[in-house]
Amino acid sequence: MTGLASRACVPTRFGALGRALGGALLMGVALGSGTELGPAVADVLGLTGFAARMIPALLVSAVAVPLVGWALRRRGGSLEDIGFGGAGANVRALLFGAGVTLAAAVLVLGAGTAAGMLRWTRPDLFALTGYVVANGAVALLLEALPEETTLRGYAWTSLRGRFGGLGAALGTTALFLVTPGVSTVVGAGVAPLVGREAGPVGLAPGGQEPVGYLILLTAFGVLLLAARTATGRAPLCAAIGAHLAFLTVNRVVFEGDRRDAGWYAELSSPGVELLVPVYALVAAAGFALWRRRAVEPFGQGAVSARAGR
């Protein structure tokens, strides 16, 4: 890639940190405001169900992605500089990221099933298909696309040019951990303005237990960074695919009964949920091994792949 990767565009240390923090702040503001404004807009329009869920998702992406694009254009760059590619490359990378993550989930959860840790209900294929499609559309616009664009895209690229791969990985992961907390602060401020009751403010959204949530988020962040650096063409879309697959698997397997997903697993104990960070790390290892291959997955040589990262 060119643009941000060129020496002329490498920012100072403070400039790189400022851009990375700006990306995380943008995501926190977009998520916090979108999730509070969206339901209010849906109520005004009389929308329910899937249509109502899409409103906040559309708002979050409509704020985060265009503003990143605007920031890049101000410096003579484009979204390709942070890891997007052409339409075909984007789709292939997205499927690659989703496929590796799904394979890791099948491997680890399959082992857990064989060990008696999970028992599966009879799947309702019609309900399951509908849920996967609807949830995928919402998750793409609410979480995967804006988070990857702002964090593994804009923030990671800004840090990578000045601090190298390790510094970018550590910095992006730290920002990923604090972004949900920022969104709760923004949401608490926006909610009263639209006549909604403010939710709890904290490191974890929705009042979730913070320590466990941050541990899971760290493993998830490692997975997403591994996906983002696994391929030289449209690498950010590999992270988007991994993001979507991870959310979909977890919501079907562990929350499918509450979400009417048509299929879910019954756990032998609450500790079985530790399989989630395990399969996230297995997927990260799979992406790392793929990166080390001599030939790029979509026909590009290893030298050009390294240049793209």
Q: Mean of the pLDDT values across residues 26-55?
A: 96
What pLDDT, on the 0 to 100 scale, is given for residue 140? 98
What pLDDT, on the 0 to 100 scale, is given for residue 37? 97
Beta-carbon contacts of residue 255 (< 8 Å; ≥ 6 apart): 261, 264
Q: In this structure, are residues 256 and 263 in contact, taking their beta carbons and an 8 Å threshold?
A: yes
pLDDT band at 9 (very low <50, low <70, confident <90, very high): low
In this prediction, what percent of the chain has a pLDDT beyond 90?
A: 84
DSSP alpha helix (H) spans, the chain: 13-45, 49-74, 87-114, 125-139, 145-147, 156-190, 210-228, 235-255, 275-291, 302-308
Q: What is the pLDDT of residues 64-99, one digit of tens each?
A: 999 999 999 999 999 999 999 999 999 999 999 999
What pLDDT, on the 0 to 100 scale, is given for residue 68? 98
What pLDDT, on the 0 to 100 scale, is given for residue 153? 97
What pLDDT, on the 0 to 100 scale, is given for residue 1? 42
In this prediction, what percent of the chain has a pLDDT beyond 70?
A: 91
Res. 11: pLDDT tops 80: no
What single-letter amino acid sits at 305? A
What pLDDT, on the 0 to 100 scale, is given for residue 301? 43
Q: Mean of the pLDDT values across residues 16-22?
A: 96
pLDDT band at 294 (very low <50, low <70, confident <90, very high): very low
The per-residue pLDDT of the chain, averaged, comes to 91
Q: What is the pLDDT of residues 134-189, one digit of tens each?
A: 999 999 999 999 999 999 999 999 999 899 999 999 999 999 999 999 999 999 99
> In angstroms, how far apart are the furthest CA atoms of the chain?
58
Q: 120: part of which helix (H) or strand (E)?
A: strand 118-120
Q: What is the pLDDT of residues 185-239, one digit of tens each?
A: 999 999 999 999 988 898 888 768 888 899 999 999 999 999 999 999 999 999 9
pLDDT band at 298 (very low <50, low <70, confident <90, very high): very low
Q: In this structure, are residues 304 and 295 in contact, taking their beta carbons and an 8 Å threshold?
A: no
Half-sphere exposure of 88 (CA within 13 A, CB side): 1
pLDDT band at 10 (very low <50, low <70, confident <90, very high): low
Distances (CA, A) of 47 to 44, 53, 191: 8, 9, 19
Is pTM beyond 0.85? Reply is yes
Lowest mean pLDDT among 13-17, 69-73, 242-246, 305-309: 305-309
Rounded to whole angstroms, the Cα distance separating 135 from 43 reads 20
Domain spans of the chain? 7-308
Q: Mean of the pLDDT values across residues 270-282?
A: 95
By C-alpha distance, which of 15, 60, 20 is closest to 169? 20
Res. 303: pLDDT tops 80: no
Higher pLDDT, 308 or 25: 25
Res. 6: pLDDT tops 70: no
What pLDDT, on the 0 to 100 scale, is given for residue 293? 81
Res. 305: pLDDT tops 70: no
Rounded to whole angstroms, the Cα distance separating 55 from 57 reads 5
What pLDDT, on the 0 to 100 scale, is given for residue 8? 40
Res. 3: pLDDT tops 60: no
Residue 86 φ then ψ, to 5° = -75, 170
End-to-end CA distance of the chain: 8
